[in-house]
Copies of this chain bind each other. A is one copy, B any other.
Amino acid sequence: MSKVIAIGNYSEADLAKLKETFDPVFLAETTEIGSLDEAARAGITAAAFKGHKPFGAEAMDLLPNLGVIANFGVGYDSINVAAASERGIKVTNTPDVLNDDVADLAVAMLLMCGREMEHASKWARSGSWAEKGEYRLNRKVSGGRAGILGLGRIGRDIAERLVPFKMDLHYWSRSEKETPGWTYHSTPEALAAAVDYLIVATVGGKATEKIVSKEVLEALGPRGILVNISRGSTVDEDALIDALKSGGIYGAGLDVFVNEPRIDPRFYELDNVVIQPHQGSGTVETRAAMGQLQRDNLSAFLAGNDLLTPVN
C-alpha cells in the first residue's frame, strides 16, 4: 500500500519520476481524497501537491497519518499552513530554483508594456508599417523609477536585473532591508507614488490580499505601469481594470490573475495589458528543478531526514 499521495496535474516527466520513486496514489484534486477507502487513507504519510485549489483542514483530516505536504511551487497559499501546523503536518515548497525565470518574465513584461511591443508587432505584421508609416513613438524605459513591492528573493532578483537599465530603485517590504542604496517606503501607496514601474513580488495569501488597491493604483498614476508575477490575489482587479480603461495607469504586465485560468474577460478587451498565462516558472529547466526539489523533500521525510525547504 502506498505511503505517498500525489495530487495535481503533473507533467509527463514528473509523473514518470514520481511513479518510479514513490509509486504514489495519483489524484487530480484534494476533493478526491474522500473517494479512497479508510485503510488507504490511513496508510498515507506524505503528499506531493501541485495546484491552485485549496488544500484545507478537511482534506488533511481525511489523511490522519499525513506528515508532510510537499508543494510544487514557491507560493503555497493554496495550503492552509496553520491547519497543517496544528496537525503536526510539515509543509515544504520549491523556492529559489524558479527565481531566475520569474524575474526574467517580470523584466520582459515591463519592457513589453513600456515599449508597446505587442502593439508594434501587430503594426508591423498587419502591414500598417508598410502602408501607414512608422509606429508611433512610445516611452523610454531605461532611466525610469522602479518599485519592488515585496523585496524577497524574487523581488531582489528583479531589482538586480534593472540596475544596468539605470533604474532608480525603490521598494516596500514589511521591514527595511539591507540594499545597495535602494529607497525604502513604509507603505505600498508611498512606493507607488515614487515610481513609474510597480512590480509586485510579494507572497500571496490573506496578508497581501488586494495590497495593490485602488489607492495604490491612483498613486501609481497615468504614467505608471504595474507588473505582477506574484499572485492574482494581491491586486484589486476591479480597480485595476477601471484604471486601465480610464487611463488612470498607463498599462500592466500580468502573469497572475484572481480567477486564473478563467480570468476576468474584461482583461481581453484591454490593449494596454500584456497577459501571460501564469508561465513565470514555466520552463523545461526550472519545472524539472522544481519537481526534483519536491521529490527530494518527500524522500527526506520518508527517510527521516531533515526537510530541505520547510515553510512551517
Contact = CB atoms under 8 A, between A and B. Distances in A.
Interface in A6-37: 9, 11
A277 B138 contact: no
Interface string A64-107: 00000000000000000000000000000000000011011101
Interface in A278-293: 278-279, 282-287
Given A104-B115, A108-B108, A161-B164, A140 B286 contact: yes
Contacts of A274: 117, 121
Interface in A170-223: none
B164 A262 contact: no
A115 B124 contact: no
A117 B120 CA distance: 14
Contacts of A111: 104-105, 107-108, 111
A61 interface: no
A299 interface: no
Contact of A108 (B9, B11, B112, B161): B112
A140 B284 contact: yes
A130 B275 CA distance: 13
A137 B104 contact: no
A242 interface: no
Of A107, A124, A163, A276, chain B has the most CB atoms within 10 Å of the CB of: A124
Given A121-B274, A137-B11, A130 B279 contact: no
Contacts of A143: 100
Given A105-B115, A124-B261, 11 more contacts: A100-B142, A105-B117, A107-B111, A111-B111, A118-B121, A134-B282, A137-B284, A138-B282, A139-B285, A140-B285, A141-B283
14 contacts: A105-B111, A111-B111, A115-B279, A117-B276, A120-B276, A121-B274, A121-B276, A124-B261, A129-B260, A134-B279, A138-B283, A138-B284, A141-B283, A160-B164
Most chain B beta-carbon neighbours within 10 Å: one of A115, A263, A278:
A115
Contacts of A109: 117
